[in-house]
Amino acid sequence: MAALAPPVAACRVAVRRALSGLPDGTLVLVACSGGADSLALADATAFVAPRSGLRAGLVTVDHRLQPGSADRASAVVAWASEAELAPALALAVNVDGRRGGPEAAAREARYEALASAATECDAAAVLLGHTRDDQAETVLLALARGGGPRGLAGMPARRQIRGVPFLRPFLEVSRAETRAACAERGLRPWDDPHNTDPAYARSRVRAAMPVLVDLLGPDLVDNLARTAGLVAADVEALDALAATARGGVANSDGSLDVEALAALPTAVRTRLLRDLALRLGCPAGSLSAGHIAALDALVTDWHGQGPVNLPGGRVVCRRNGRIA
């Protein structure tokens, strides 16, 4: 028997690790655009899931932003059926009228559709094809935008969206490996023109990465991705400290006590202020470092200033020694 090609093996091992611990017989859905990363993920999952006692299906999302997108979605579903991925679903979404730029709007619509599909199919998880290269690009974007620790922590290997677990098995797999795996398996991935369109910030970062690798060394992508993991561990620890501290600063009406807040370390205090903003209904993606700094000034630089206006039309002010 011929030895399994290393890129194919790397993809299958990554999926096996991600699926470990899921209950026998449950369904996992692969989010697949038809690109090399998600196609390699779908192919690996089709092999690994049944051998792990699981069922595997596929969802492709048609953003309707490019000519021929419906035909492409149909082709992905047809391939999935041949690969014995069931169910195999194509979902069309509407991106117009959503908050943020086109990238953010498409991402929001896509995740909503994927979460809804998982709920309707009673799936245990949705698998996403982000690679180590995507993680490195995310960290670089966060640095360029002056992002804090949450931005530098990159994409988590697991997160919940609308109660649905989303898993990223390929964060330790390179983009080159997914392309090589597709070639080894005879798969023909689709190259999204948006990935090279300079109108998108991530595309510009992707184009710049080879230059940065030449300038800073071949380990750049690995080091950026490793940074995300290290910072993510710190963020998790600080979040836990903030959750513990909340009992000492929160009042019964949901407001926060100024004196108790002021005694906390900055990293813990600002987390509690961010949590307050989110509980009031501010969209997480719209909260900036400037918003949090303005909230913190109500505690640490109080000189009678007025309320802080936050995204989503929310207002926070200091009154009678409380922040609410």
The more confident residue out of 104 and 257 is 257
Residue 27, classed as helix, strand or coil, is: strand
- Range list of β-strands (E), 128-224: 158-161, 164-167
Domain ranges of the chain: 6-216, 250-323
Class of domain 6-216: alpha beta
pLDDT at 1: 59
**pLDDT tens by residue, 61-85:** 999 888 889 999 999 999 999 999 9
**β-sheet bridge partners, residue 31:** 59
pLDDT at 284: 81
pLDDT at 100: 65
Mean pLDDT of 10-18: 98
Q: Whole-prediction pTM value?
A: 0.92
Do residues 201 and 141 make contact, with C-beta atoms less than 8 angstroms apart? Answer: yes
Mean pLDDT of 283-303: 92
Q: Is the pLDDT of residue 294 over 90?
A: yes
Percentage of the chain beyond pLDDT 90 is 86
| Alpha-carbon span 102 to 31, nearest angstrom | 19
Task: Work out whether the CA dihedral 117, 74, 174, 9 comes out positive or negative.
Answer: positive
What is the pLDDT of the chain when averaged over all its residues? 95
Q: Is the pLDDT of residue 122 over 80?
A: yes
Q: Is the pLDDT of residue 97 over 80?
A: no
Q: Is the pLDDT of residue 98 over 80?
A: no
What does R_g of the chain's alpha carbons equal in angstroms? 22
pLDDT at 263: 98
Do residues 103 and 111 make contact, with C-beta atoms less than 8 angstroms apart? Answer: no
Do residues 131 and 38 make contact, with C-beta atoms less than 8 angstroms apart? Answer: no
Mean pLDDT of 252-261: 97
pLDDT at 145: 86
| pLDDT band (50, 70, 90) for residue 148 | confident
**pLDDT tens by residue, 182-229:** 999 999 999 988 888 898 889 999 999 999 999 999 999 999 999 999
